[in-house]
């Protein structure tokens, strides 16, 4: 990281007083003829610009990485009990798209036990090679052995970029492996782009969704990122091609301080990410009567009800029903947005929906910027008419 160097021989009382007074963070002090900068410094560099050479910005020597030694785009295949999470297929499609820029191969990394069938399945989604670590110690997810296998793969194969699904497992594993590689990780990316020099441009909302940050790691390899389910489109399976490569690792590296005594499957909740039809409720439709009509509409269309963050924070809806950056990312065939203004945090989680119908009294509401069908009006007046129309249509079908 860059640092600030003080040239004490150039310090004069007048210059020192000006720097002390001009520091917006109160991080500069002048005592007994010595100028000092405390840990309160935010590196705004005002003292460098106004100090007349008294304070110098010293840049660290940039670490160079031989990018030619790192080749390939790898997708971590999230597989539990023999079933691959569908975010893996979405990432395989995106990896193939990124690889077309550099001509790199696409890999998949599969860790577990008895994983022959899932490995063959991955070859139908554009993967050139599936690297597998199949061992009894990897039957159930435990962070230490999974990290060891993942890191062993990176050391042997040296992929340039690694894409991990932002699942419960992926969110634990990716940062652990990235830290072991002394590399950065960008979480919850919404856009991925590839440069000709193999630098992966990782784009995600930042500062509460007010900006889209473009993050690049030119000095480190591999490049890690996680992506939520439903952010990218899942490709259609094709005729299998490529090969499965069985990897080996020393058994002692798979040791763990965690012992799995028993595995119990809990009842599956309704996952709004999987719904084809969603009726989303915002503050403009939070009354009990409106929520009942939203549920009725969802039932008629075979969908589910979801909400925005404020209604979850108010205790009206469960957190699992929240759409947005801090909730779930959804991509239904049809979504109704009732009384939702359309803050960036919400729209980032649903803007890829096939058909978006928005109802709001404010004609300038941001939700209309992403909606395919916009209805300006009071949702309390429009919903009864919409319900009546849907019932009539279903009656004649």
The answer on pLDDT for 312 being more than 80 is yes
In the chain, where are the structural domains located?
3-58, 67-254, 272-396
What pLDDT score does 61 carry?
67
Q: Counting beta carbons within 10 angstroms of the beta carbon of residue 72, is it exposed (0 to 12), middle (13 to 18) or buried (19 or more)? A: buried
* pLDDT band at residue 88 using 50, 70 and 90 as cut-offs: very high
CA-based Rg of the chain, rounded to a whole angstrom?
27
Query: Residue 394: its pLDDT value, please?
Result: 84
Predicted pLDDT of residue 28: 95
Instruction: Convert the pLDDT of each residue in 289-310 to its tens digit.
Output: 999 999 999 999 999 999 999 9
Dist CA 76 CA 141 (whole Å): 14
Residue 325 has pLDDT above 90, yes or no: no
- DSSP classification of residue 237: P
17-23 long-range CB contacts below 8 Å, 24 or more apart? 18/50, 19/47, 19/50, 19/51, 19/54, 19/55, 22/46, 22/47, 22/50, 23/47
**DSSP sequence for 130-184:** EEEEE-GGGSS--HHHHHHHHHHHHHHH--SEEEEE-SHHHHHHHHHHHHHTT--
Q: Tell me which of 131-135, 172-176, 257-261 is least confident.
A: 257-261
Pick the CATH number of 3-58 from 3.30.565.10, 3.40.50.150, 3.20.20.10, 3.30.70.20: 3.30.70.20
Do residues 34 and 8 make contact, with C-beta atoms less than 8 angstroms apart?
yes
pLDDT band at 75 (very low <50, low <70, confident <90, very high): very high
Helix, coil or strand: residue 375: strand
Third-level CATH fold of 272-396: Rossmann fold (3.40.50)
Task: Find the range with the poorest average confidence among 1-15, 184-198, 205-219.
Answer: 205-219
> Which residue has better confidence, 59 or 24?
24
Rounded to the nearest integer, the mean pLDDT of the chain is 93
Only one residue has tokens 């690297």, namely 131
- pTM higher than 0.75 for the full model? yes
CATH T-level assignment (fold) for domain 67-254: Rossmann fold (3.40.50)
Q: Do domains 3-58 and 272-396 have the same CATH topology?
A: no
């Amino acid at each position: 990281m860059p640092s600030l160097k003080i040239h004490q021989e150039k310090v004069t009382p007048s210059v020192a007083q000006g720097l002390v007074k001009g520091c917006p963070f109160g991080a500069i002090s002048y005592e007994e003829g010595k100028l000092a900068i405390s840990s309160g410094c935010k590196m705004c560099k005002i003292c460098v610009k106004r100090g007349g050479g008294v304070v110098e910005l010293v840049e660290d020597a940039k670490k160079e990485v031989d990018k030619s030694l790192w080749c390939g785009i790898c997708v971590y295949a999230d597989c539990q009990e023999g079933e691959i999470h569908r975010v893996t297929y979405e990432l395989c499609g995106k990896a193939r798209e990124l690889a077309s820029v550099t001509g790199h191969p696409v890999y998949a990394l599969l860790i577990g036990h008895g994983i022959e069938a899932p490995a063959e399945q991955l070859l139908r989604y554009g993967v050139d090679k599936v690297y597998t670590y199949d061992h009894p110690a990897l039957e159930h997810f435990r962070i230490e052995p999974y990290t060891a296998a993942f890191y062993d793969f990176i050391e042997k194969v040296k992929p340039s970029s690694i894409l991990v699904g932002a699942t419960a497992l992926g969110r634990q594993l990716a940062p652990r492996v990235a830290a072991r590689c002394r590399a950065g990780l960008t979480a919850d990316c919404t856009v991925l782009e590839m440069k000709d020099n193999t630098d992966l441009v990782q784009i995600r909302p930042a500062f509460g969704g007010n900006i889209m940050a473009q993050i690049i790691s030119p000095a480190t390899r591999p490049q890690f990122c996680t992506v939520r389910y439903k952010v990218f489109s899942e490709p259609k399976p094709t005729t299998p091609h490529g090969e499965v490569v069985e990897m080996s690792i020393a058994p002692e590296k798979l040791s763990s301080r965690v012992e799995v005594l028993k595995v119990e499957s809990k009842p599956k909740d309704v996952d709004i990410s999987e719904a084809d039809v969603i009726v989303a409720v915002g503050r403009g439709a939070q009354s009990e009567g409106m929520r009942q009509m939203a549920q009725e509409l969802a039932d008629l269309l075979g969908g589910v009800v979801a909400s925005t963050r404020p209604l979850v924070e108010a205790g009206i809806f469960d957190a699992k029903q929240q759409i947005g950056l801090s909730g779930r990312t959804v991509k239904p065939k049809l979504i109704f947005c009732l009384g939702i203004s359309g803050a960036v945090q919400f729209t980032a989680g649903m803007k890829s929906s096939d058909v978006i119908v928005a109802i709001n009294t404010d004609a300038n509401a941001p939700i209309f910027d992403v909606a395919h069908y916009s209805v300006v009006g009071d949702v309390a007046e429009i919903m009864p008419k919409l319900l009546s129309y849907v019932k009539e249509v279903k009656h004649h079908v």
